[in-house]
Amino acid sequence: MSDNIDKKQQEILREKALNYHSSPIPGKISVIPSKPCKQQDELSLAYTPGVAEPVREIARDPELAYKYTSKGNLVAVITDGTAVLGLGNVGALAGKPVMEGKGVLFKQFAGIDVFDLEVNAPSQESFIETVVNIAPTFGGINLEDIAAPHCFEIEKILKSRLDIPVFHDDQHGTAIIISAGLLNALEIQKKSLDKIKIVCIGAGSAGIASMRLLVALGIKKHQINLIDRKGVVHNGRKDLNIYKMEFATETDDRTLADAMQDADVLIGVSGANLVSAEMVAVMADKPIIFALSNPEPEIAPNVARAVRDDLIMATGRSDHPNQVNNVLGFPFIFRGALDVRASTINTQMEIAAVKALAQLAKLPVPEEVLQAYGMDSLTFGPDYIIPKPFDPRLMATVPPAVAQAAIDSGVARKPYRPFNFQIKY
């Protein structure tokens, strides 16, 4: 009976989603002029002959593109379609609804304009050249849904060749939100960052980037057991790429079940139902589980809680407490980077975002957030370790922290001046 109900609910959701994307007009984003163009004199300023004046100025000094065009507030959301959501290599065009969706979130949460670009790239090199060639249009590049391991090399090369922020959200956005939540969960569980044992299921872009950021925050690599499809990533294996080799440890653990023994933290960025109740039962006291596979987590919260009443749990879902959602990160990180015209988004800026998000969750929650989620109260604790996406304070908290980190680390090219944008939900 429940299977029939689930199938019916899925079909209802499917129809709602398709109708949402198709009506009243196809798609989710459009281009809206930011200047009036309703009279002859306005037309002559918007286009010929008036447009020649900013053209001459930019030809004389390319930096003036930031003054006379939308470049400084325009981000490319770009994909090759090789790893779209949990659907895999569906191709560039099929990824367009996701890229449009990212555009909606950039604009809704941080006032950033977006062009979405879906690239049919026969090779890694051709994708890189495409991005380099279109980069002058933009103030930043958000790479999206690009499969590992070539996503690492693509981002590395683009960051070296471009003087604007390049950010692969599947890597760094996920890593930042995980890290912010984990710092708070460890504080609640009274555990120290330098003494915990971490198991990470998933050695793709999100897993590798999250472990790298946790190392930057102070965790040692020997504290981490990285798990891929073949089991524990250990230094006796001969089948590891260079990215997995970063986290190959000296250990006798070979399976996920081995690694889970006495683990303090489980981070899942892999697939549904990979973790059993028995594995959770043998974790250390006061465990922390981030089961982030969507739509089905690595272990269902009710299954985990049935064997451990001392755990803190997060998922990627909105219908459970502690949703790890990248929208807490990328709009505000780019906002801070754009506001100081940063040449890159570096580790210092990522750590600043982590700490700003972690600190925000500890502050009293305003009434408007409670109303948005239909709650009477929300207090820092096991069921509230990271801010809610519809918290308007994110805009006033994360961008300034990121901007200051850019200034402090020497990658900012102008003083910080907050963007004039009011979030309206």
Question: Is-catalytic flag, 286?
Answer: no
| Residue-wise DSSP of 278-331 | HHHHTSPSS-EEEE--SSS-SS-HHHHHHH-TT-EEEES-TTSSSB--GGGTHH
CB atoms within 10 A of CB 41: 8
The Cα-based distances of 111 to 239, 334, 338, 379 in angstroms read: 45, 10, 11, 29
DSSP 29: -
Contact residues for 103 (Cβ-Cβ < 8 A; gap 6+): 28, 29, 77, 114, 115, 116
Residue type, 144: E
ω into residue 24 within 30 of 0, thus cis?
yes
User: Considering 71, 96, 102, 191, which one is annotated as catalytic?
Assistant: 102
Helix (H) or strand (E) holding 123, with range, is none
Tokens read off for 150: 């070539």
The Cα-based distances of 12 to 101, 284, 304, 320, 412 in angstroms read: 20, 41, 29, 21, 48
Euclidean distance between CA atoms 287 and 308, whole angstroms: 8
The CA R_g of the chain, rounded to the nearest whole Å, is 23
Beta bridge partners of 166: 141
Euclidean distance between CA atoms 141 and 164, whole angstroms: 7
Tokens read off for 266: 């489980």
The Cα-based distances of 209 to 146, 176, 191, 368, 384 in angstroms read: 14, 9, 22, 34, 24
User: Considering 8, 16, 47, 220, which one is annotated as catalytic?
Assistant: 47
CA angle 425, 422, 321 (to 5 degrees): 45
ω into residue 295 within 30 of 0, thus cis?
yes
Q: Are 209 and 176 in contact (CB under 8 A)?
A: no
Question: Is-catalytic flag, 424?
Answer: no
Residue type, 171: Q
Active site amino acids: 47, 102
